[in-house]
Amino acid sequence: LFISQIYGLLPVSNVRALDVADIRFRWCSPRILYSLLIGILNLSEFGAVINYVIKVTINFHTSSTLSLYIVCLLEHLFFWRLAIQWPRIMRTWHGVEQLFLRVPYRFYGEYRIKKRIYIVFTIVMSSALEHCLLLGNSFHLSNMERTQCKINVTYFESIYRRIAAVHRKVMPAVFWTEVREHYLALKRLVHLLDAAIAPLVLLAFGNNMSFICFQLFNSFNIGVDFLVMLAFWYSLGFAVVRTLLTIFVASSINDYERKIVTALRDVPSRAWSIEVQRFSEQLGNDTTALSGSGFFYLTRSLVLA
């Protein structure tokens, strides 16, 4: 969040506040002015690129440069849209988080936050290395590339672990009522997040796919220079791994939902109740997953699409 504000992408006041009630989006604030200035500079640079493309005629390489600046402008616009909804998202997220920080989820959840921070840090450093290699390549060939990566995490595993802990056991209706209500609260949070970040997901995946295709096209003309080859193969490999990793992490939402469905099928007949039936129907009637504005859902099957 701090890095996003440095680049003027998330102009939200008190974004790191301990109390979610202090998080505000104010139209008249220094962050808005700074973000607006960054947007104007990006728009000016985009105008210069259009002027250059018109002069040299449009081809595959100039169109890729043009698309890069279009992605940057759309990214800035979509992050502003996200910033407006950010206070509401954080309040909803905080309410759901409180459910999973209490008993009984404390017994089923594994809070390996330090491990996750190290993983994210490694990914960011890999991205920085990619950028350094491309920067070196730009000095060598007067060319530069830029990409981005986003990942997501969920609490669905905690719900699944709670259900798995009572596998094939007879549980009272109040147990299934509570689990179903917690699942619905989490599902509402996912839908709220999806509505806010779906355009960014679509933009990120579109940018990743176009970048990979562009790099594959360039593979026919990378020459024999070591620095060029190193930058090219590392950049291509990183883009592919980043895209696959994003799909696998985000698809965990849908994976655990399917595991919950499987666990409900093993509920003994003598323990089957109206609450279990309602829970099962709610799981089967809708797909719970992040999406790219409805064009696709982030599930494991997307890898083979």
pLDDT given for residue 118 in this prediction: 56
Closest residue by Cα to residue 65 from 128, 150, 143: 143
Residue with tokens 């829970």: 279
Contacts made by residues 144-150, CB under 8 angstroms, sequence distance 24+: 145/68, 145/211, 145/235, 146/68, 147/207, 147/208, 147/211, 147/235, 147/239, 147/242, 148/75, 148/204, 148/207, 149/123, 149/204, 149/242, 149/246, 150/200, 150/201, 150/204, 150/246
Residue with tokens 């493309």: 53
The stretches in the chain having pLDDT less than 70 are 106-154, 221-225, 305
Enter the tokens of residue 304.
């083979």
As a whole number of angstroms, the distance between CA 260 and CA 182 comes to 13
As a whole number of angstroms, the distance between CA 31 and CA 37 comes to 10
* Residue 152 backbone phi and psi in degrees, to 5: -135, 155
